């Protein structure tokens, strides 16, 4: 393109060249002098003014736009384009820039500076002269050559001048420069061209600037935010994540962010970085703590000086190390001083009382700088000659405890008589276990005195006759010497112990003779040694047999024996024939019976006879699910070679067990291993040859039935509940057929799997006594879960399958009431009394009457009257097959159907007034309420529904108002 220098000629274009120079002076001035912050956010892609050589844009047709060179006042050349074909009609002059690569930009700013001649000031141009021009762009990924096709351009806008100038302005040298800015975008190609279309105006394009905006990298809140190009929309903010400066980290849940605005400004800082442990903030960076200082956490602001008895030699430490002989407990924060173990307790004194020893001492002189000093006692029993000491073992009792003592005294009990003991009392604090220095303790050596033997145990009636009773018992656990004899004290129960007799025995059994027939006697036994008598064991009540009435005629006896013998013979012959004839068709039931593992001399043999020994490597323990009597219960997986992996529960025997504990623990496996029924928990095997000793049982996902029901209160249908009960009954039928009496059947001892299958669990001989938290001591000796146990089992320890049926009735009640506690909060004593008086639990809410009737049948006082488990299974099966029988009559006030209950209905004829009746039932405090409610006469009281009276009477007696009263609004109103 031709370029011309500015020359003072009189061509029609003279005015334009002059204006260019003046405008350029203005522009340069603004740029140099003002250099504002706004410009700092811009990235310039094209600035025609900054180019001093030819721009060489494309102009078409060639006689349209012309490139003109000029000089500013500093004689700096500038480049510009002008066009002024105002005289000719139909002008279409195009000017296109070179290709502009857009870089990261999405929104492009185009700033145009130009001057434009007022058509009115040009003579003879009416109709052809224009005062606007058009701005276009074309996006491309690369340069497209120098040809120019109009239809490929997108119009940005028609640009008009805010101010045009006239010939007169030229004379005054007042140039009117227009500045217009347009924005294009979002752009997607790599670059673009700009094009200017003139349609017959007189224009000088003084400068074209193309740029985009950016937020420039900064550090804010210890986070670096990188250069960020603004968003594509005018209103958009670009969210930018900050990166923490070195040795800083993001504050928890508060990572640093900022927002880059369309104007290239950083806005809305959120979150922050903080200096890491060992570093503190200085300006926009983190610097290490100096020597002798530390900062333990990024949350702390400043470095702190090392606490007492600690130091550090390095910069940037998060903690200080303890000096030699000083320690920090695991729970001590780095900010506390290092401490050391306490010195020994002082002034240890003792006091011996037979086989008990009390120790007292003063606190140590030096607590080591801590206030968590406690004391522990080490007990050793020593032989006299030579003196060799062994730990005292678990039989010695410590009160209040052996270790963790806060007070400065302790008593050791159950020591052996005439034995030599050494006790060491050590003061310990939070760092004692960290110290490798020698233990400091106060010690005493003591010889215990004489002591009487402890109680005999397990008294058993071997033989009860009309006039004699044979007893046996176990030697006391602590004889404390040689037992020379036992004394058996006995008296008639009715006489109390005002008159009693004694019998002596050298062995652990004795026969007491000369007793009266059919008489209840109370027995107590104690042992005797050189040190005197021990205490009596708990009372044992035994009733002698009835005396036979009259003598039988020997002839009759012979006749009876002969007849009986004949009958037996006939049956034997008949049985033999039948047995031979039908040997293949008839199966005699009950051939497999339960074997009590206690009958084995070596209990280990019993375990290995009934339980499979598993290889511990086949078991994978996963998590703890409960606490058993002997240790934790875990869940896990069992993979036996050639078998599918199964989920299992693993009962473990805790470390430090005694031989007896091990035996009792494995006893459960010896029992469980004999059973094989879908409603009895299945034993997979045992691990006895490794540690820990384990019992591996099938896994029951829903745990114990009582808590399972409580968790899902009201969520099952009656059929589902009856299905569970049916399963339990089937499991119990199997166990009773095997001759096993459970003794502790209760919902807590039923396990539920993921398919709601209920299985009987908790087997063991001593478990009822040791394991069940519900078991309490009864007056007849022994521990019993009273609420679940049949009266004959409570009274004279008569445990049979019939007593299991009673317990089953209670389980039915637990199930139908979704885990309610039987007899609610009545005391055990009240429960025993109520049962004795004929009270039976009422039907739980929504319980079908048929099921409650079955419960009542299980709670028959006479155990022979109770149904057998196979009958129970039959009844439940029938109910399941005929669900109509399980419907609860709507709106009925279901009455507990107990024959004995009716005896409790008050007989109003024996009372003269309501007050007298209330007094009789010990409810006189409600007298005013009855009067106020309009029940002043006995007649009006009698009108209250008699069923409700049954309940009222029971309730007043057993204090369980709230549970049963719901539904009896008339009575509730009075109460
Ligand atoms: P136990 O020693 O039998 O009374 O067990 C203690 C607790 O461990 C029970 O109350 C159950 O919650 C849980 N448990 C015992 N055996 C199993 C099993 N086979 N499957 C799932 N949980 C069990």
So what's the pLDDT on residue 263? 83
The protein residue whose alpha carbon is closest to atom 10 in ligand 1 is: 704
The residue written with tokens 């040694």 in the block is 529
Ligand-binding site membership of 293 (annotated)? no
So what's the pLDDT on residue 835? 92
Active site residues: 744
The residue written with tokens 């010690």 in the block is 443
Residue 45 confidence (pLDDT) above 80: yes
So what's the pLDDT on residue 195? 97
Give residue 439 CA to ligand 1 midpoint distance, Å: 42
Average pLDDT value for the chain:
82
Residue 65: pLDDT band with limits 50, 70, 90: very high
The protein residue whose alpha carbon is closest to atom 22 in ligand 1 is: 703
Please, are residues 274 and 248 in contact by the beta-carbon 8 Å criterion? yes
Nearest C-alpha neighbor of 112 from the set 84, 86, 133, 128: 133
Ligand-binding site membership of 645 (annotated)? no
Residue 32: pLDDT band with limits 50, 70, 90: very low
Q: How far is CA 519 from CA 262, 344, 514, 523, 544, in A?
A: 107, 64, 12, 13, 5
The protein residue whose alpha carbon is closest to atom 11 in ligand 1 is: 703
So what's the pLDDT on residue 957? 34
So what's the pLDDT on residue 910? 65
Ligand 1 atom nearest the C-alpha of 748 is 10
pLDDT (mean) for 573-597: 48
The protein residue whose alpha carbon is closest to atom 17 in ligand 1 is: 649
Ligand 1 atom nearest the C-alpha of 749 is 4
Backbone angles phi, psi at 920, to 5 degrees: -60, -35
Please, are residues 476 and 535 in contact by the beta-carbon 8 Å criterion? no
Residue 9 confidence (pLDDT) above 80: no
The residue written with tokens 């347009």 in the block is 182
So what's the pLDDT on residue 766? 52
Residues 638-669 have pLDDT tens digits of: 999 988 999 999 999 998 888 888 988 999 99
So what's the pLDDT on residue 145? 86
So what's the pLDDT on residue 95? 96
Ligand-binding site membership of 550 (annotated)? no
Please, are residues 423 and 453 in contact by the beta-carbon 8 Å criterion? no
d(CA 434, CA 828): 50
Give residue 762 CA to ligand 1 midpoint distance, Å: 8
Ligand-binding site membership of 651 (annotated)? yes
Give residue 765 CA to ligand 1 midpoint distance, Å: 17
For a pLDDT cut of 90, what percent of the chain falls above it? 54
Ligand 1 atom nearest the C-alpha of 627 is 6
Q: What b/e sequence results for 250-283 when a residue is b if at least 16 CB atoms lie within 10 Å of its CB, and e otherwise?
A: bbeeebbbbbbbbebebeebebbbbbbbbbbbee
Nearest C-alpha neighbor of 216 from the set 203, 231, 228, 206: 228
Kindly give the interhelix angle for 603-610 and 659-672, rounded to the nearest 10 degrees. 30
For a pLDDT cut of 70, what percent of the chain falls above it? 81
In terms of residues, how long is the chain?
975
Give residue 682 CA to ligand 1 midpoint distance, Å: 13
d(CA 510, CA 74): 137
Ligand 1 atom nearest the C-alpha of 699 is 20
- Where does residue 422 fall: left (phi above 0), alpha (psi -120 to 50 degrees), or beta otherwise? beta
So what's the pLDDT on residue 884? 85
Give residue 703 CA to ligand 1 midpoint distance, Å: 6
The protein residue whose alpha carbon is closest to atom 13 in ligand 1 is: 626
Ligand-binding site membership of 626 (annotated)? yes
Residue 20 confidence (pLDDT) above 80: no
Classified as helix, coil or strand, 300 is coil
So what's the pLDDT on residue 267? 86
Nearest C-alpha neighbor of 376 from the set 386, 389, 393, 361: 361
Query: What is the distance in angstroms between the CA of the first residue and the CA of the last residue of the chain?
Result: 114
By most ligand atoms within 8 Å of CB, the mutation choice from 628, 647, 775 for ligand 1 is 628
Ligand 1 atom nearest the C-alpha of 771 is 4
The two tokens of residue 554 are 């020997």
The protein residue whose alpha carbon is closest to atom 21 in ligand 1 is: 700
Backbone angles phi, psi at 777, to 5 degrees: -70, 135
So what's the pLDDT on residue 779? 64
So what's the pLDDT on residue 549? 56
Classified as helix, coil or strand, 878 is helix
d(CA 651, CA 291): 54
Higher pLDDT, residue 208 or 478: 208
Give residue 739 CA to ligand 1 midpoint distance, Å: 24
As a dihedral over the C-alpha atoms of residue 294, residue 297, residue 300, residue 305, rounded to 10 degrees, the angle is -20
Give residue 208 CA to ligand 1 midpoint distance, Å: 85
Give residue 828 CA to ligand 1 midpoint distance, Å: 26
The pairing of strands 3-4 and 66-71 is: parallel
Ligand-binding site membership of 311 (annotated)? no
The two tokens of residue 345 are 């307790």
Q: How far is CA 112 from CA 81, 103, 207, 286, in A?
A: 12, 21, 6, 47
So what's the pLDDT on residue 916? 78
* DSSP type of residue 613: B
196's CB contacts (< 8 A; 6+ apart) are: 65, 81, 94, 95, 96, 133, 134, 135, 136, 205
d(CA 177, CA 157): 19
Backbone angles phi, psi at 879, to 5 degrees: -65, -40
Residues 90-121 have pLDDT tens digits of: 999 999 999 999 998 989 999 999 989 988 88
Higher pLDDT, residue 807 or 972: 807
The protein residue whose alpha carbon is closest to atom 7 in ligand 1 is: 626
Residue 33 confidence (pLDDT) above 50: no
Give bridge partners of residue 397 from the DSSP assignment.
413
Residue 968 confidence (pLDDT) above 90: no
Give residue 810 CA to ligand 1 midpoint distance, Å: 21
Residue 253: pLDDT band with limits 50, 70, 90: confident
Residues 384-402 have pLDDT tens digits of: 766 788 999 888 999 999 9
Residue 125 confidence (pLDDT) above 70: yes
So what's the pLDDT on residue 132? 94
Residue 78: pLDDT band with limits 50, 70, 90: confident
So what's the pLDDT on residue 379? 95
Ligand 1 pocket, Cβ-based, cut-off 6 angstroms: 625-626, 628-629, 633, 649, 681, 697-700, 703-704, 751, 761-762
So what's the pLDDT on residue 905? 41
The pairing of strands 750-752 and 758-760 is: antiparallel
648's CB contacts (< 8 A; 6+ apart) are: 619, 635, 636, 637, 638, 684, 696, 697, 698, 699
Please, are residues 751 and 704 in contact by the beta-carbon 8 Å criterion? yes
Nearest C-alpha neighbor of 431 from the set 340, 323, 369, 322: 340
d(CA 19, CA 178): 12
667's CB contacts (< 8 A; 6+ apart) are: 597, 598, 603, 606, 764, 765, 766
d(CA 118, CA 656): 110
By most ligand atoms within 8 Å of CB, the mutation choice from 649, 654, 706 for ligand 1 is 649
Higher pLDDT, residue 163 or 251: 251
Higher pLDDT, residue 19 or 197: 197
Ligand-binding site membership of 629 (annotated)? yes
pLDDT (mean) for 350-363: 90
pLDDT (mean) for 467-477: 91
d(CA 227, CA 57): 32
The protein residue whose alpha carbon is closest to atom 23 in ligand 1 is: 703
The protein residue whose alpha carbon is closest to atom 5 in ligand 1 is: 628
318's CB contacts (< 8 A; 6+ apart) are: 277, 278, 294, 295, 296, 297, 334
d(CA 737, CA 732): 8
So what's the pLDDT on residue 924? 66
Please, are residues 74 and 131 in contact by the beta-carbon 8 Å criterion? no
So what's the pLDDT on residue 857? 97
Cα 891 → chain centroid = 42
By most ligand atoms within 8 Å of CB, the mutation choice from 626, 629, 638 for ligand 1 is 626
d(CA 715, CA 818): 9
Cα 709 → chain centroid = 19
Please, are residues 705 and 747 in contact by the beta-carbon 8 Å criterion? yes
Give bridge partners of residue 358 from the DSSP assignment.
351, 411
Nearest C-alpha neighbor of 146 from the set 263, 353, 1: 1
Give residue 626 CA to ligand 1 midpoint distance, Å: 6
pTM to 2 decimals?
0.41
Ligand 1 atom nearest the C-alpha of 701 is 21
So what's the pLDDT on residue 889? 62
Give residue 750 CA to ligand 1 midpoint distance, Å: 9
The two tokens of residue 749 are 């001892």
Please, are residues 521 and 539 in contact by the beta-carbon 8 Å criterion? no
Residues 906-964 have pLDDT tens digits of: 555 667 777 877 776 656 666 776 777 667 777 766 655 443 444 444 333 333 333 33
d(CA 971, CA 940): 12
The protein residue whose alpha carbon is closest to atom 3 in ligand 1 is: 762
By most ligand atoms within 8 Å of CB, the mutation choice from 704, 731, 746, 763 for ligand 1 is 704
Ligand 1 atom nearest the C-alpha of 697 is 19
Which of 37-41, 156-160, 940-944 reaches the highest mean pLDDT?
156-160
So what's the pLDDT on residue 159? 96
As a dihedral over the C-alpha atoms of residue 940, residue 942, residue 945, residue 951, rounded to 10 degrees, the angle is 120
Residues 678-712 have pLDDT tens digits of: 999 999 999 998 889 999 999 999 999 999 999 99
Please, are residues 312 and 336 in contact by the beta-carbon 8 Å criterion? no
By most ligand atoms within 8 Å of CB, the mutation choice from 650, 680, 707, 751 for ligand 1 is 751
Please, are residues 59 and 3 in contact by the beta-carbon 8 Å criterion? no
Nearest C-alpha neighbor of 893 from the set 834, 935, 817, 952: 952
Q: What b/e sequence results for 469-502 when a residue is b if at least 16 CB atoms lie within 10 Å of its CB, and e otherwise?
A: bebebebbebbbbebeebbbbbbbeeeeeeeeee
572's CB contacts (< 8 A; 6+ apart) are: none
The protein residue whose alpha carbon is closest to atom 4 in ligand 1 is: 628
Ligand 1 atom nearest the C-alpha of 629 is 2
| H or E stretch at 499 | none
């Amino acid at each position: 393109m031709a370029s011309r220098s500015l020359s003072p000629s009189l061509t029609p274009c003279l005015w334009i060249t002059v204006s260019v120079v003046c405008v350029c002076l203005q522009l340069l001035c603004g740029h140099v002098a003002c250099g504002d912050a706004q410009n700092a956010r811009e990235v310039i892609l094209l600035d025609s003014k900054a180019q001093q050589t030819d721009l060489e844009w494309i102009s078409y047709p060639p006689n349209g736009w012309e490139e003109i060179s000029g000089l500013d006042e500093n004689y700096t050349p500038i480049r510009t384009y002008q066009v002024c074909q105002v005289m000719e009609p139909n002008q279409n002059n195009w000017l296109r820039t070179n290709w502009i690569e857009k870089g990261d930009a999405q929104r492009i700013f185009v700033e145009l500076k130009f001057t434009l001649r007022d058509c009115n000031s040009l003579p003879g141009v009416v109709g052809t002269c224009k005062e606007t021009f058009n701005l276009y762009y074309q996006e491309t990924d690369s340069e497209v050559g120098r040809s120019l096709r109009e239809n490929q351009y997108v119009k940005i806008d028609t640009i008009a001048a805010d101010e045009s100038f006239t010939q007169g302005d030229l004379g005054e040298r007042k140039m009117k420069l227009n500045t217009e800015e347009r924005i294009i975008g979002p752009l997607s190609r790599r670059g673009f061209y700009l094009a200017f279309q003139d349609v017959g105006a007189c224009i000088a394009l003084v400068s074209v600037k193309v740029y985009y905006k950016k937020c420039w990298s900064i550090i804010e809140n210890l986070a670096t935010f990188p250069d960020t190009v603004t968003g594509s929309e005018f209103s958009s903010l670009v969210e930018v994540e900050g990166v923490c400066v070195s040795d800083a980290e993001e504050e928890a849940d508060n990572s640093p962010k900022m927002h880059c605005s369309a104007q290239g400004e950083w806005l809305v800082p959120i979150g922050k970085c903080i200096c890491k442990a060992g570093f503190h903030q200085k300006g926009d960076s983190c610097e290490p703590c100096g020597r002798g200082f530390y900062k333990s956490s990024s949350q702390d602001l400043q470095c702190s000086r090392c606490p007492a008895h600690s130091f550090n030699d390095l910069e940037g430490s998060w903690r200080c190390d303890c000096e030699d002989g000083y320690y920090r407990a695991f729970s001590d924060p780095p900010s506390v001083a290092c401490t050391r173990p306490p010195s020994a307790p002082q002034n240890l004194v003792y006091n011996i009382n037979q086989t008990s020893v009390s120790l007292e001492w003063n606190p140590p002189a030096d607590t080591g700088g801590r206030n968590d000093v406690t004391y522990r006692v080490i007990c050793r029993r020593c032989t006299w000659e030579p003196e060799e000491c062994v730990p005292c073992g678990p039989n010695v009792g410590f009160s209040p405890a052996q270790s963790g003592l806060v007070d400065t005294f302790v008593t050791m009990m159950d020591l052996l008589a005439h034995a030599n003991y050494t006790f060491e009392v050590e003061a310990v604090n939070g760092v004692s276990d960290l110290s490798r220095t020698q233990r400091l303790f106060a010690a005493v050596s003591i010889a215990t005195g004489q002591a009487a033997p402890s109680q005999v145990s397990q008294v058993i009636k071997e033989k009860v006759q009309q006039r004699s009773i044979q007893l046996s018992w176990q030697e006391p656990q602590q004889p404390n010497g040689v037992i020379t004899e036992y004394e058996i004290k006995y008296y008639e129960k009715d006489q109390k112990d005002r008159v009693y007799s004694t019998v002596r025995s050298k062995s652990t059994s004795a026969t007491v003779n000369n007793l009266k027939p059919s008489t209840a006697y109370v027995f107590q036994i104690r042992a005797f040694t050189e040190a005197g008598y021990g205490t009596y064991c708990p009372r044992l009540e035994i009733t002698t047999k009835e005396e036979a009435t009259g003598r039988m005629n020997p002839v009759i006896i012979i006749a009876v024996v002969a007849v009986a013998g004949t009958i037996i013979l006939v049956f034997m012959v008949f049985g033999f024939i039948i047995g031979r004839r039908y040997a293949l068709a008839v199966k005699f039931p009950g051939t497999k019976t339960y074997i009590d593992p206690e009958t084995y001399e070596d209990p280990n043999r019993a375990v290995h006879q009934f339980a499979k020994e598993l290889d511990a490597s086949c078991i994978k323990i996963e998590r703890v699910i409960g606490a058993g009597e002997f240790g934790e219960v875990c869940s896990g997986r069992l993979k036996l070679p050639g078998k599918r992996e199964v989920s299992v529960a693993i009962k473990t025997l805790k470390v430090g067990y005694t031989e007896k504990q091990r035996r009792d623990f494995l006893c459960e496996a010896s029992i469980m291993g004999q059973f094989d029924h879908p409603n009895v928990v299945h034993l997979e095997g045992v691990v006895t040859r490794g540690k820990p000793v384990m019992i591996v049982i099938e896994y029951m996902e829903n745990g114990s039935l009582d808590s399972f029901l409580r968790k899902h209160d009201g969520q099952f249908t009656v059929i589902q509940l009856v299905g569970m009960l049916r399963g339990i009954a089937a499991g119990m039928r199997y166990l009773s057929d095997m001759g096993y009496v459970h003794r502790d059947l209760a919902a807590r001892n039923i396990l539920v799997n993921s398919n709601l299958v209920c299985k009987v669990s908790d087997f063991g001989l001593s478990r009822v006594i040791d394991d069940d938290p519900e078991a309490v001591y009864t007056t007849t000796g022994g521990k019993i879960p009273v609420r679940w146990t049949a009266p004959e089992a409570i009274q004279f320890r008569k445990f049979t399958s019939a007593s299991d049926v009673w317990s089953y009735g209670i389980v039915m009640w637990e199930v139908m009431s979704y885990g309610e506690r039987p007899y609610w909060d009545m005391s055990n004593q009240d429960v025993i009394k109520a049962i004795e008086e004929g009270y039976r639990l009422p039907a739980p809410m929504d319980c079908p009457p048929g099921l409650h009737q079955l419960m009542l049948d299980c709670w028959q006082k006479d155990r022979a009257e109770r149904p057998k488990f196979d009958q129970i299974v039959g009844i439940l099966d029938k109910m399941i097959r005929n669900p109509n029988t399980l419907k609860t009559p709507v709106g009925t006030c279901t009455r507990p159907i107990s024959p004995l209950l009716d005896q409790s209905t008050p007989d109003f004829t024996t009372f003269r007034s309501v007050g007298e009746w209330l007094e009789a039932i010990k409810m006189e405090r409600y007298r005013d309420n009855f009067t106020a409610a309009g029940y002043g006469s006995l007649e009006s009281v009698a009108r209250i529904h008699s069923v409700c009276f049954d309940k009222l009477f029971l309730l007043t007696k057993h204090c369980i108002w709230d549970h049963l009263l719901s539904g009896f609004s008339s009575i509730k109103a009075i109460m």
